[in-house]
Amino acid sequence: MEATELLLIRHGQTDLNREPRFQGQIDAPLNALGELQARRLAERLASERIDRLVCSDLTRARQTAAPSAARLGLTVLPSAPFREQGFGVFEGLAFPEVIERYPQDWAAWLRHQAGYAPPGGESNLIFHARVIAALRAVAQAVPGGSAAVVTHGGVLDMVWRTARGLPLDGARSCAIPNAGINRIQVLDERIEILAWADDAHVADLTLP
C-alpha cells in the first residue's frame, strides 16, 4: 500500500460549541461564525491536491464541507462512521446540568476510563474502533493520493491518541480548533502526524 495523506478537519463552530454543551450526535447546524469559517476553509484548500472529500453525515460537517466541495469541484461523500462520539443522556446539556441531573455518571465521566459510556452513549473503546476503521477505509480508497475528511473533535482526539501511541484513558491532550486542518499520513498500520491544529486561515474571525 502506498502512503496516503489525509487532511482531517473539524467542523465550523455551532452555538452548542459556544455555550458549551455536550453536542455529540445532535444534528446542530453551523452558526454565523461557523459559516464564515467554512468559507475561509474553502479558500485555504483551493491550492491543495485533494482526490476525495469525505465528511460526517451530521449537518455541521456537511455545511463545513460544502464550500470546499464547490471550490475544488468535488462531490462530498457523507460517512456516518465519522460522526462525533455518542454521549447519550449528556447530549444537549451544559456541564452544570449534567452535574445536577446525573451526578454519579458525571463522576464516572471525570475518571476518563476508556470503557465508560454515559447511559445511551459510546465508550472510547467502541468509538475508537469505528473511527480508525473509517480512517483506514478512506486511506485505502486513494492509495498514494490525498483526501480531506470533515469531522468532529472527538474523532480527531482518537486519531491523535493513535498516532502518538497514547492510551484511550485520560482527558484530551491536544488542541482541536473549529475548522482547523490536521494533516496526517497513513501507511499500512502506521498513522503519522505531519501537522496539527492549523487554524491560521480562521484565527482572526469573530462572530459578526
Annotated binding site for substrate: 10-17, 60
CA distances (Å), origin 197, targets 16, 131, 134, 176, 193: 20, 19, 21, 6, 11
CA distance 72 to 82: 21
The secondary structure of 89-104 as a DSSP string is GGTT-BHHHHHHH-HH
Category of 171 on φ-ψ map: left (φ > 0), alpha (ψ -120 to 50) or beta: beta
Residue 24 and residue 90 in contact, taking contact as beta carbons nearer than 8 Å: yes
Residue with cell 473549529: 178
CA distance 201 to 52: 21
| Residues annotated as catalytic (active site), given as ranges | 11, 84
Residue 106 and residue 99 in contact, taking contact as beta carbons nearer than 8 Å: yes
Could you list the residues known to form a binding site, using ranges.
Answer: 10-17, 60
CA distance 58 to 11: 10
Name which of 178, 179, 155, 157 is nearest 166 in CA terms: 157
